[in-house]
Structure 1
């Protein structure tokens, strides 16, 4: 992790990327949350929270998206889950998924984001791959850097896009509610997949299998 805070000024001009209207995206979210709704709960500045969440020092609604089912699922459910030394499948704790669902969405409008896809993109904001690939222990620092980038890019920056750490073949993004206007997302048609149901868990295991992961067994007597 970098042993320094963000500089006073941007060293370069952040690179923009446009996420076109109609782009299919996928979101893993708590089942009770509206699929297109932003998360308004600020993370603790120093402890729990995601890579680019808001905090009590800088509040904004936010949501994370994957550009494939694999990226959306792996970024949320396989975070910080290493393989055992024997390479056996990773076992996903039930608490990690039973209250979550995956929703199929699409963008309703063009979204302008800061690109963090390449080395030159990251250098323009005084960073390297640490910003988008580091694990959860460093998220208090990545949140601070994310706030710094937001403050120095102005309202055009409606979010960030970067390569998925856990599915490098695809991308993930965070969108900011205060810069996206109303209803930047809509349902793409299929019903959400509720991982807390038997059918939803079977579907989830089908996604997890190529990543050498599987949900933990149910406790005896629990049937949905």
Structure 2
């Protein structure tokens, strides 16, 4: 059932949730990117891309955040990183983090989102936990469902919120730039943590340790 196309009409009433102004949020992003800037590049409809990215079939700026540093790091960097099977730590490839940073953000206004937190929330949309737990091979389908939810919650829904797959004790959200009245997020003033620096890598390893993961060692002779 979960992978079937969306129905013609909403089965129930979507659950509204509000991220209150001043809510602390955390974003892992490419270091060159403005921490509060939306990604304006649509993903391919059928290949690559994230769970609820825009596509050429529904273009919008999007931005993913976690409600804790651990959730933000896990959702971006531990995606599909398997345990080695020998009880050792997972090794995070250097190319996956060296050009990324974590930024500290806050909601600049109340943000109204569709809740995907509970079974009841998902059932109102004709879905189950597949929508927020499935892995990347199903993301073309989750993107299609995301577009369908957006179309049926226009104009109020400024994003979606759901339990983090990789840190279930925390929440994550995607926000849209075509809803609301202005910039939804703003930096707190704390400097971003650049994972490409020695200090930033130490901080990252501190976050990764409870998840039995750490950054892979630098190859001998490499200076960059």
* TM score, norm. by length of structure 2: 0.97
Question: For 1:47-95, what per-residue CA distance to the aligned partner results, in whole angstroms no more than 9, with x for missing partners?
Answer: 1100000001110000000000000000000001121222311110111
In 1, Cα distance between equivalents of 2:181 and 2:88: 45
Q: 2:92 aligns to what?
A: 92
Question: For 1:138-194, what per-residue CA distance to the aligned partner results, in whole angstroms no more than 9, with x for missing partners?
Answer: 100000000000001111000000000101111000000000332211111210001
1:151 counterpart SS class: helix
Q: 1:16 aligns to what?
A: 16
Shift of 1:203: 0.8
In 2, Cα distance between equivalents of 1:61 and 1:151: 15
* TM score, norm. by length of structure 1: 0.97
- Spell out the pairing of 1:178-189 with structure 2 (5 A cutoff): 178-189=178-189
In 1, Cα distance between equivalents of 2:5 and 2:182: 33
In 2, Cα distance between equivalents of 1:80 and 1:163: 17
Q: 1:71 aligns to what?
A: 71
In 2, Cα distance between equivalents of 1:46 and 1:87: 36
Q: 2:120 aligns to what?
A: 120
2:25 counterpart SS class: strand
- Spell out the pairing of 1:30-49 with structure 2 (5 A cutoff): 30-49=30-49
In 1, Cα distance between equivalents of 2:3 and 2:184: 37
- Spell out the pairing of 1:134-149 with structure 2 (5 A cutoff): 134-149=134-149
- Spell out the pairing of 1:154-173 with structure 2 (5 A cutoff): 154-173=154-173
Aligned residue pairs total 224
In 2, Cα distance between equivalents of 1:84 and 1:94: 17
In 2, Cα distance between equivalents of 1:97 and 1:194: 9
Structure 2 runs not aligned, ≥5 long:
none
Question: For 1:85-139, what per-residue CA distance to the aligned partner results, in whole angstroms no more than 9, with x for missing partners?
Answer: 2231111011111110000010010000000000000000000000001111110
In 1, Cα distance between equivalents of 2:148 and 2:181: 21
Structure 1 runs not aligned, ≥5 long:
none
In 1, Cα distance between equivalents of 2:5 and 2:124: 16
Shift of 1:223: 4.0
Shift of 1:17: 0.2
- Spell out the pairing of 1:145-224 with structure 2 (5 A cutoff): 145-223=145-223
